[in-house]
Amino acid sequence: MGLVPLEEAQGYVTDACSRLAPATAPLARALGQVSAERVVATEAVPPFDNSAMDGYAVRAADTAGAPVVLSVMATLAAGSPTSAPVGPGEAIRIMTGAPVPEGADAVVMVEDTSSRGEGRQVEVRAEVSPGAAIRRAGEDLAPGDVVVDPGTPLTPGHLGVLASVGVAELSVFPRARVGVLSTGDELVSGPAPLLPGQIRDSNRPTLLGMVAEAGCEAVDLGSANDDEASISEAVDVAARRCDAVVTSGGVSMGDFDLVKVVLDRLGDMRWMQVAVKPAKPLAFGIIAATPVFGLPGNPVSSMVSFELFARPALRKMMGFPPTTWRRPLLAAVAEEPLERRPDGKTHLVRVIAVLDDDGRYRVRPVRGQGSHQLAAMASANALAVLGDGDGVARGEPVRVMVLSST
């Protein structure tokens, strides 16, 4: 079986995954989800002219030739109804957010004033123009303005704007429930001493974290032994209770790599040897209408495979715009040589990327590029993408996939 080009494998996986059906969610739980509807403002924001600061509401013309002394007629706090109109030579003490009273066309900030006569008068030391320090009704949003469009990933700012127009719930694409299953007789969890031949399961905690970081609801499916019955039962149950399933291990070419055998029997699967290093073996298909990602067992390969194939597909399922399915490839410069040998594959080198003043990343490889070296992978924050060839020399440009800014 020949190697499948990376772009072909990525396209095959994402094309096979459909968006989840929209559902109504309360605004308080919609952070990070994607809007499935257009929301239009039905009222103005702000709903009335109000003061942008603490000070005095005045007629701008009365401040000509400042300093001037004006009579203080009342005090107006935020949340209060409007007071009597401001007449010539008058002022009203006003707090931030309070409605601008009739007759006033400007606000003088309190720093430019001095109170006199036990607060019955105010000296205005600065001349102001009409409209000074006034927030106009509808200045942020007018009735009929679009608040969010379909396909908008909802940030804290979006939640605030939606709340400002009275939205309590809206239609969103739900978070995908993604089950994570490890396979292998050698796997154990917890601090108990290892018996001969055992290793602790690091893939499941890692993938559960990656699933959550991608915006999904992570479901811990535990681990299954290397026998067809155990794997079959675990995958079948997972496919029926989750929106997607991620397994690790058992998709290579060994005698005990049984995940591929089980997946082939349960659903419409495709097994690929992808032209990429690490993360060459990949099983993907649909079981009970649920996408199943069979990732390799080596911990670094599992992480890279998730980044390349599972994460983009899951983000598509959750309604994210196509431009955000995959992490962007950014310009970088190699601070040290990034070496490789020609083998027909794209190599993903684990690197530490630091953003320079010129807007480009400068990268250096971590020590330990083996597909089993999870500690080295954890110290990296990016993957340098090396096309087939001899690598990149020090000082040469290279594209990087930044995984984390920390």
Q: DSSP readout, 270-317?
A: EEEEBSEES--EEEEEEETTEEEEEE-SSHHHHHHHIIIIIHHHHHHH
CA distance 266 to 228: 11
CA 133, distance to chain mean position in Å, is 36
CA 223, distance to chain mean position in Å, is 29
Q: Calculate what percentage of the chain has a pLDDT beyond 70.
A: 97
For position 261, what pLDDT does the model report?
Answer: 75
Residue range(s) occupied by CATH 2.170.190.11 in the chain: 50-135
Confidence of residue 336 (pLDDT cuts 50, 70, 90): very high
Q: DSSP readout, 181-234?
A: EEE-TTEE-SSSPPPTT-EE--HHHHHHHHHHHTT-EEEEEEEE-SSHHHHHHH
For position 255, what pLDDT does the model report?
Answer: 47
Average pLDDT over residues 158-187: 94
Residue range(s) occupied by CATH 3.40.980.10 in the chain: 6-20+175-324
Class of domain 50-135: mainly beta
Q: Is the pLDDT of residue 282 over 80?
A: yes
Average pLDDT over residues 14-34: 97
Residue range(s) occupied by CATH 2.40.340.10 in the chain: 329-402
* pLDDT tens track for 63-81: 999 999 999 999 999 998 8
CATH code for 6-20+175-324? Answer: 3.40.980.10
Class of domain 23-45+139-173: alpha beta
* pLDDT tens track for 352-380: 999 988 888 999 999 988 888 898 899 99
Angle at 179 between CA 178 and CA 185, to 5 degrees: 150
Class of domain 329-402: mainly beta
